[in-house]
Amino acid sequence: MKSLISKSSTEKWDPALPLTMEGGPFDRGPGLRSIAAFYSDGRMLVSKSHLNNPEILSLAAEAEMEGYPAAQVEPVDISVITQCYMAAASTVMSVRDDARMRREVVDLVGKLAKRRASDIHIVVGEGSTQVRARIDGLMEHVSEWPPEYGHSFCAAAFAMADASDVNYQPYEYQAARVSNRNDLRLPEGVISLRLQFNPTTYGGRALIIRLLYSASEKDSGDISQLGFSPEQIEDFEYLRAKPYGINIVAGPTGHGKSTTLTRNIQAILQENNFNIAVFTVEDPPEYPIPGAVQMPVVNASSTEERSEAFTKAIAASLRSNPDRIMIGEIRDGASAKLAFEAAMTGHQVWTTLHSNDAITIPFRMRDLSVEDYKLTDPTLLTGMISQRLVRKLCKNCCRPVIDGDEIPYGLMGRLDEAGVTVESMRLRNPLGCEVCGKGNGYAGRGVVAEIILPDEGFMEWVRKNNKAEAENYWLSQLGGRNMTEHMLDRVSIGDVDPNDAEKIVGQLVRPKRV
């Protein structure tokens, strides 16, 4: 239905609405509406006492000339006609409300996108709807709505999706995606939204909206802007140059794994002048990657179906003559085995995994039933990366440490032992400034990470299932530096407030190397 108020008979019209309603193609005023209702399928409901009214006969003739079916007159009581127009008015109001609510969704996203929110949480309860947003990693209260409005907001967000289940189920777990397209323009800089709907107690609903932003053209394929150290950037360049092997990026949800993966795939394409075949399997695709064939996994109605569809897509990518494959996530044993199969046949694979740190990755793969001879082969499992995001201080308004009480005594002792001087540290300015413009003293988030490039000696400890010795070998024999050390580097250059650092990586203690 293009419009409910168009007077053009050539436009599509909702067959449930009378053509003679106010604003319809055959709107003849309230006088005719009091005695007749004419529909696009030719049905004409006419008051029993007005069957021979000249205006009725004239309308029927005019409609037939306009190409509508010949009028099929149905004599009815006048109360039936009144009910027809009341129902039509209700339908029109519902459509208008839905359009208005969709605008409300876009407006809220636009408002919070200006603050670079990563997620919006709408939680509908019995008495109210709470709206919060995650900005620079922290949840902030945004608004409070009536519960009815919250339920309507959730339904409208689902209706906007271009990848979702067929029907909205208010009491089921559902996922969906909203993308930029001709009939829907998301706010500037936002390329898509990932929606997760969760039922809550007492008939409530929780909607979490993940905002995915477009990278500027100059940043495409550039991981240096993400916060990796120069040594880590060299490690990525080494891994990208290999034509084979699996490289796994691990970390918690919402800590930038997909961005790191996407930037590296973009870099691979650029470094090869786009003369290679790159296939991605994602559930669903988050960022557009020009030059890659992106294969979505959508419209699965259950976890089992989604897993099966994901596995089929990976298998299809292997049959598609690829040079590089990106798998959005290793989610089960089947996808893990296919990823290793791809590496064994000479392909390079990039993927993500939920794991606490890099050293855990091969042990996690063992849990997914990958055979030891595969996961302990350093020519197959070539790179293990773990990362988290930490809030970066605004360089314009961050301030030096003036009072020792500004940093807890225990933390100050650990920093001193790690070799971080008070003079080099900087603290957040809670008032903010015109540069950060948020009144919180932060300038977005950056990566703290660790990268393991395993060799045969490292893998020998993995074969023996000795995680502690594997970690010690990495740190002492391979020159590894863990995430805590990367965080200490960022604190020591005044990039991260030391009070924030331990919330991300735990106590700031350098590892012992033996």
Neighbours of 86 (CB within 10 A): 10
- Range in 82-96, 262-276, 282-296 with the lowest mean pLDDT: 82-96
- In 3D space, the residue among 54, 57, 51, 48 whose CA is nearest the CA of residue 79 turns out to be 48
Give residue-wise pLDDT tens across range 93-109. 666 667 788 889 999 99
Residue 209 has pLDDT above 90, yes or no: yes
| pLDDT given at position 1 | 35
Q: What is the pLDDT of residues 283-342, one digit of tens each?
A: 777 788 899 999 887 655 566 777 788 888 888 888 899 999 999 888 888 888 888 988
Residue 324: per-residue pLDDT: 94
Angle between helix 498-505 and 483-492 (nearest 10): 170
Highest mean pLDDT: which range of 11-15, 62-66, 441-445, 481-485: 481-485
Q: In this predicted structure, what is the pLDDT of residue 301?
A: 59
> Contact at 8 Å (CB) between 494 and 501?
no
| 238 or 183, greater pLDDT | 238
pLDDT tier for residue 440 given thresholds of 50, 70 and 90: confident
Cα(176)–Cα(368) distance, integer angstroms: 27
Please state the pTM of the whole predicted model: 0.74
Q: How far apart are CA 288 and CA 212, in angstroms?
A: 11
- Model pLDDT, residue 299: 57
User: What's the chain's Rg over C-alpha atoms?
Assistant: 30
Distance CA(501)–CA(492), nearest Å, equals 11
Per-range mean pLDDT, top range of 227-241, 250-264, 272-286, 399-413: 227-241
Domain extent listing, the chain: 1-76, 97-213, 217-391+444-486+497-505
Whether 513 shows a pLDDT value over 90: the answer reads no
Per the DSSP assignment, residues forming a β-bridge with 121 are 132, 208
Q: What percent of the chain has pLDDT over 70?
A: 92
CA nearest 79: which of 129, 117, 39, 45?
A: 45
pLDDT digits (tens, 9 = 90+) for 383-418: 999 999 999 999 999 999 987 678 999 999 999 999
Query: SS3 of 95, please?
Result: helix
Q: Percentage of the chain surpassing pLDDT 90?
A: 48
C-beta atoms surrounding 452 within 10 Å: 26
Average pLDDT over residues 22-27: 84
495 vs 117: CA distance, rounded Å: 20
Identify the CATH class of 217-391+444-486+497-505.
alpha beta
CATH 3.40.50.1370 fits 97-213, yes or no: no
Rounded Cα–Cα distance for residues 455 and 355 (Å): 21
Note the pLDDT tens digit of each residue in 451-463. 999 999 999 999 9
Euclidean distance between CA atoms 373 and 358, whole angstroms: 19
Given a cut of 90, whether residue 90 has pLDDT beyond it is: no
**What pLDDT shows up at residue 363?**
95
Average pLDDT of 208-217? 82
For the stretch 164-184, pLDDT in tens is 776 788 888 888 888 887 678
Position 11 scores a pLDDT of 46
